[in-house]
Structure 1
Amino acid sequence: MASLVRIAPGALVIGRPLPWDVYDADGNVLLRQGYVIQTNSQLEHLFERGRFKPRKIDLPQEEEFQDNRKRNPFADYAELLITLETTINAITSREESAEKRLLGLSRMLERTCVEAPDATLALVHLYSVNPNIHEQILFYGILCQFIARQFGLDNKRTRILTAAALSANLALVPVADKLNSSNIILSREQREVIQKHPDRSIRALEAAGITNKLLHKIIAQHHEYSDGSGYPENLSGSDILPEAEILALAERYVAMITKRAYRTRMDIIEARKMVSTLADGKFRPAIPRALLDVLGYYPPGVLVRLDNNEVGVVTRRANKSRGPFVQAIFNPRGHRYNGTFERDTSLMDYMIREPEEPETMPSMDFSMLWGFRS
């Protein structure tokens, strides 16, 4: 297999399912997509011997989108992250391709959300246990797509908002993972980096030739709050763009469901309650309501325990005729099923009892739960 690529350090994480099949240099399969890496020695072995076959993801042009493949968010996940990292590097290096890359990635994420909405939303919840900064940024872009459409933004403004979500934190990229893993009080220098990152991100975009005024304004305002308690200008009310509030809420929600060194992550019930409180002063009420409508009571990708003690993954949100769609993956005794079984959660035996919050996700190819084939 001439197209196999060596796995770069940082691409794989202990406790995280493999995003693709891993091969040796001769093209023999070492581990299948979905296997969860368990130890440091296993990780080092994969970095030493492992190869993967990346899918070619072409950057879409604004005029025409050439890639007509059906979107599989799980198969595309690793490549989306690589494309995001390449885009951020292009901006900070002031490459001529920076704007084209950013708009292309925004368009690509838009198409993925439109064509495979439940599976794309599931990425945010399945991989939120301990995401790195690039994963968090990707989650911001996904959530902004969904919230913006529910809120009623048109396609053009939603696309610019998505580009803002993908670039607003580029000034934090070098330090974010360290900040998230720290359980000590932030130093003055660290607080200054956080306070100034919107302005520094805008200056990096300007230096790369990306001058869209709406994009810059969204980034400048995405830490302002309707009650005037935000930064850097202490704006309030209608002085703040709805796009900026949508991005701020996306970031807040990801922080809620993400594990940090200094706190545990919230389950979906706790997170929904917290989002509900944000409608009272911090945000214009319609934006938190839009996120709650997008999520439903149990959003795709959340693991749940059913009344019969099975554990499954929510694959589709509830509709008018029935509750959330769940694929059972563990039997009542905690053993993995050979395959999965769809459960109607409106039936008494299969009603959802509570969310499950595992430290590591089960080892499996999640894309199969949504009917994709690798």
Structure 2
Amino acid sequence: MDVYAKNGVLLLRKGHYVLTEDQRDRLARLGHGESGEVEARLERERLERAAQREKEAAQQRNSANPLQEMAFLLRRAEGVLQHGLAVRDLQASLLDMVEALLALSRRHPDGVLASVFLLPYQDIGSAQSVHVAAVLAVLGRRLALADAELRPMLGAALSMNLAISGLLNQLATQSGPMDLAQQEAMFAHPALGSAMLREAGVLDEHWHLLVQQQHEQLDGSGYPLGLAGDEIDADALLLQMVDLVCGCVHQPQPQLPALVLGSLFRGELGHFPPQHVSLLVKEMGIYPPGSFVRLASNEVAVVTHRGDKANTPKVAALRKLDGPPYADPLLRDSRQSAFQVQEAVAATTAAIKPAYLYKLWYKP
């Protein structure tokens, strides 16, 4: 029989040899073979250990760095969206990512916004979808939408390019215009993406509606149905606007976030409902978290959090404009005249890697 110590530790398994008389005597003195009680104790201990591990994991999730969590989501989305219906239980995978974004937007809204501007696109077909969903999650909090209302919006953002993920990656490296086959795939992808989602088990009609209408325009010039005005769902227009902004800051020649938001506000990026434009500009501020600025101290800084006013965000100085990077980012108060924000600058001016900045959004 198996021989256990009274504390439940297995001393010798059934079928193993007792090699010496001394070992036999020690086993007789310390061990016993009443396995029922021991197994019950071991099961209780196993459950206690499992509960402790889950508690530690929950604590770690609650205190994890939002940029690291977003980087993980980008890698996960790449694996899911590139393979589409080949992914086992695609719907569950999409909903898991939606829940992760909902949780992140509750705990770290500024970190979520910062990740949109700081984390590079490794796979444009999936990364843009994650970034759009992330911004929508933060905007949804501002609108006081319940999670049940946000889920189809975030699900639609994640899956809007499901049918053309590979094509988007191809176009990112293609120097010439789209050929006829590519144009046809692009035109068909809202309807095809919705069909793929239905095949995957997605039944939420609002989710399907947003995927189908993501490229419709208020003036009727969109596709695939040429809808106009009130024929287009308001959430579809919000999704389209956020998609456009995220694309502008990550295109082959990226634009500064502050300039993109300014162009959006002036109507230079297209016609969108004024309430949508106002919501996005007010929520992100003039200088969104994750963007870079030059301070009155002639330092290059990164915006870490939104401030009380649109022009006084919380910032961390990274280096003098003509000097090497600091050993650690230095927090500055942009409300003070010595550290007022003078202008937005490109990420290349900071000359640092995103990992150097992760600690700025860590919240224990």
- Give the TM bin, normalised by the shorter chain: 0.7 to 0.9
Structure 1 position 257, deviation (Å): 0.9
SS class of match (2:327): strand
1:268 and 2:261 matched: no
1:319 and 2:308 matched: yes
One-letter identity of the residue aligned with 2:208: H
More helix by share: 2
The 5 Å alignment of 1:146-157 reads 146-151=138-143, 153-157=145-149
1:367 and 2:363 matched: no
Q: What residue number does 1:339 align with?
A: 328
SS class of match (1:209): coil
Structure 1 position 155, deviation (Å): 2.6
1:162 and 2:139 matched: no
Aligned residues: 304
Deviations along 1:9-57, one digit per CA (max 9) or x if unpaired, are xxxxxxxxxxxxxxxxxxxxxxxxxxxxxxxxxxxxxxxxxxxxxxxxx
Deviations along 1:221-257, one digit per CA (max 9) or x if unpaired, are 1111222221111212222112211110111001111
- Looking at structure 1, the residues matched to 148 and 259 of structure 2 have their Cα atoms a distance apart, in angstroms, of 33
Q: What residue number does 2:234 align with?
A: 242
Please, which runs of 5 or more residues in structure 2 have no aligned partner?
1-56
* CA separation of 1:152 and 1:369: change in aligned 2, threshold 3 A: closer
Among candidates 79, 82, 88, match of residue 75 of structure 2: 82
SS class of match (1:171): helix
Among candidates 107, 114, 119, match of residue 115 of structure 1: 107
Among candidates 167, 172, 186, match of residue 175 of structure 1: 167
* CA separation of 1:321 and 1:150: change in aligned 2, threshold 3 A: closer
- Looking at structure 2, the residues matched to 304 and 182 of structure 1 have their Cα atoms a distance apart, in angstroms, of 32
> Is contact 1:94-1:208 (8 Å) kept?
no
Structure 1 position 122, deviation (Å): 0.2
Structure 1 position 372, deviation (Å): 5.0
One-letter identity of the residue aligned with 2:285: G
- Looking at structure 1, the residues matched to 195 and 69 of structure 2 have their Cα atoms a distance apart, in angstroms, of 31
Structure 1 position 317, deviation (Å): 0.8
> Is contact 2:264-2:270 (8 Å) kept?
no
> Is contact 1:131-1:258 (8 Å) kept?
no
> Is contact 2:81-2:126 (8 Å) kept?
no
- Looking at structure 2, the residues matched to 221 and 116 of structure 1 have their Cα atoms a distance apart, in angstroms, of 30
Please, which runs of 5 or more residues in structure 1 have no aligned partner?
1-65
The 5 Å alignment of 1:144-293 reads 144-151=136-143, 153-260=145-252, 264-278=253-267, 282-293=271-282
* CA separation of 1:170 and 1:361: change in aligned 2, threshold 3 A: farther
The structure, 1 or 2, with the larger RCO (C-alpha pairs under 8 Å, 6+ apart) is: 1
Of structures 1 and 2, the larger Rg is shown by: 2
User: Which stretch of structure 1 is more off in the superposition, 274-283 or 67-76?
Assistant: 274-283
Q: What residue number does 1:105 align with?
A: 97
One-letter identity of the residue aligned with 1:267: L
One-letter identity of the residue aligned with 1:123: S
- Looking at structure 1, the residues matched to 103 and 344 of structure 2 have their Cα atoms a distance apart, in angstroms, of 30
1:72 and 2:65 matched: yes
- Looking at structure 2, the residues matched to 129 and 103 of structure 1 have their Cα atoms a distance apart, in angstroms, of 22
Q: Percent identity?
A: 26
> Is contact 2:77-2:127 (8 Å) kept?
no
One-letter identity of the residue aligned with 1:369: L
Deviations along 1:297-356, one digit per CA (max 9) or x if unpaired, are 101000111122111110011215981011001124321112121111122221112212
If the length of structure 1 is used for normalisation, what is the TM-score? 0.75
